[in-house]
Structure 1
């Protein structure tokens, strides 16, 4: 049995030059799409040549590895080849194509483009994709012939068709670039029609229900459902608006920044909903969370006051009363520990501390009478806060000429020393110390 197994290994269609070729140390076996004898042999040969492109000069080794890309009936065909009948890859290539030539896919001619006709109601983008897919399977065709065929199979009378009749492009690339302009125009018209339909449905008057005992009992037993948009605002703590989010965006397009692309995969999106802000499908403009956060940031800066239901959210905050006019506001994102200048020895730190106390004692200026000043938070400050709120209270304060972004309200008691350098950077006069 061992002798028969050894003979079966020796009986190979390759000659000794191919069978005994040494493997390169740098060679890594690629992963092939196995050929089982039912597909186009030309495509498999192209696939194999692409995978073995780095070893194209080593003809015996390319020939030796080829059986690893075969399976089932194709591998059985190779094993049944006569002993030492394949001396090189050219011979193997010719034998392989001749064996499976019946599976070779016939090349399409230019006449196959006439079967790709634009259907009624089909968008220009879908039709152009089908046409380009069919044209890619044609080996050789003249661009002028393909463009004339495109004009014949598309719907007549459209703006794009009229433009092609007036000014015919010279190549397929120009045709596709010109089509993109009308695709965007077509999408814009479709979105406007959809938006007009939504507005009509929202503004449609409610039908009067006759006063009957049965209908009264049904109305009494059925709870009043809130509008989806209102429920969404209450749930997420958004500021109430006088108009829809879509209309607000249409009237203030130039004020918004460019959004990030939608991360949801294209096949999982709802193509019946279109967002004007993202210029893409997946959700409606009124449900765009990124746009909603942009609006909230603008409201916090005191903008869009005309779109608020109450003017409470548009009231400007009181600033530091002793701020020097004309100075540029600096931004401090966070304060942690002492400054770099204070990271010195303890002796230097104590000397700075004594100097600060001395400056406080020798100051001949009366202290500022602050009186009873209370800082409180009303219902307007809770409009964008998720309740119940149990997190630490962090606020932003405008101190002199600096906007401090993160200020933690600490209920505990502690004493913090502010050096003279800090007052100088804040541009606070010494008379206020």
Structure 2
């Protein structure tokens, strides 16, 4: 039940009942990064049969907001909306600004990590700028994110590794194979560490099983795409066990 004392709509709007034969039309929901003018046009055309029912136009419009847009609606002052024109005006003013700051993908090419700031700060900043781009290409975003690191940036500066003074486990670093450009691919030899740990009792699943299990979901995340598997956090007490010698 709606709390009328805190609703942005007046009591008259809140207490109004929908027509007896009213059936909820199909709408395109509005999120924070949408175009407010286009959404209002879509909403008016869908509700054209109920244009003269001010209360219905207001209350149904509120149900079309999702995520941060729905949160914004509940920050409006109680009893501040008297008509659909009122809600249209404040809605347009709020989200015309968000829509106007949209940028193109080449905007990301200008982003560089500041050596004096943390990797977490760079990731957070990059995500915020990426959100301003309409239909940003993930391949471009991944490439520009990696290029944002200075070439001379050390792994310690990037907070990818950290120094350990004393460790019970030490692994040797060894070259494995040459890359196409002639550089050696270097890996840490965790043979002794693997021998000390119990083997995984779970066998690998048939490939068709995990593939079929994704059919019921709308999104599928590839954590290791573009060599980004290192973003998976390691269990804190186990970090020290992965120490390796560099000198």
Q: Which TM class, normalised by the smaller chain length? A: 0.3 to 0.5
* Greater share of helix: 1
Q: TM-score, normalising length from structure 2?
A: 0.38
Report the TM-score when normalising by structure 1. Answer: 0.22
Identify the structure with bigger relative contact order (alpha carbons < 8 Å, sequence gap 6+). Answer: 2
